Amino acid sequence: MAEPDEAHFRSIPWCSQLIDDPAFTITPTFSRQFKSSTEDSLFAETLQTNNTINACLSVYRRPSPPETFIPEVRTLLTLGSGLNGGAHVLHGGITAAIIDDVIGTLLTVNKDGKSLPLTWNTLTASLNVRYLRRVETPGTVVVVARCREVKGRKYFMEAEVRDGEGQKLAEAESLWIGINKSKEKL
């Protein structure tokens, strides 16, 4: 089944190349899907407009057998001027939120022993973002999220925002912690 924004990104040559890379497969961007629980409402409702995040498409790198953990997700986003902090520049807080969300997408495509997304039982403990260049709007970027290491309940993640020319605009390191769902404690 085709994702609703796939045609939009196929019309952008550099995005089409990424989508067509045989090492990657398209996955739903779960945070863009409405949920009656109000989970993900920031990205599913507030930031899903023609003037905010107009289009979004995620792909993940298939793991090499016998591995099953998906090591990387790339999310394409077309950003509008409704996200600006300065004139034609994405607000830094939105940059951080987008990075956090794409890391969440990576954890969502990975499952725990009960076949539940890892985001079901993980929370962001820290997110450190370095802003390297302006993220200009309107425009299209790709956010690449990778899992660097897993140690027990700790997921050490990293991400970067790149433009269509491959320039790194922002980078981040993040720590996600597995929680005991029954006790809701870190």
At 104-153, the pLDDT tens digits run 999 999 876 565 667 678 899 999 999 999 999 999 999 999 999 999 88
Determine the Cα angle at 73 with ends 70 and 79, to 5°: 165
Nearest to 110 by CA among 160, 146, 56: 146
| Residue 184 pLDDT > 90 | no
Can you give the residue range of the structural domain that contains 112? 6-178
123 belongs to a structural domain: yes
Task: Count structural domains, the chain.
Answer: 1
32 belongs to a structural domain: yes
Any residues with CB less than 8 A from the CB of 182 and at least 6 apart, and which? none
CATH number at residue 86: 3.10.129.10
pLDDT of residue 85: 96
186 belongs to a structural domain: no
| Residue 180 pLDDT > 80 | no
Any residues with CB less than 8 A from the CB of 80 and at least 6 apart, and which? 49, 50, 51, 52, 53, 54, 137, 138
183 belongs to a structural domain: no
Helix or strand run (H / E) with residue 92: helix 92-109
185 belongs to a structural domain: no
pLDDT digit string, tens, across residues 42-57: 999 999 999 999 999 9
Q: Which residues are bridge partners to 24 per DSSP? A: 61
14 belongs to a structural domain: yes
| Residue 65 pLDDT > 70 | yes
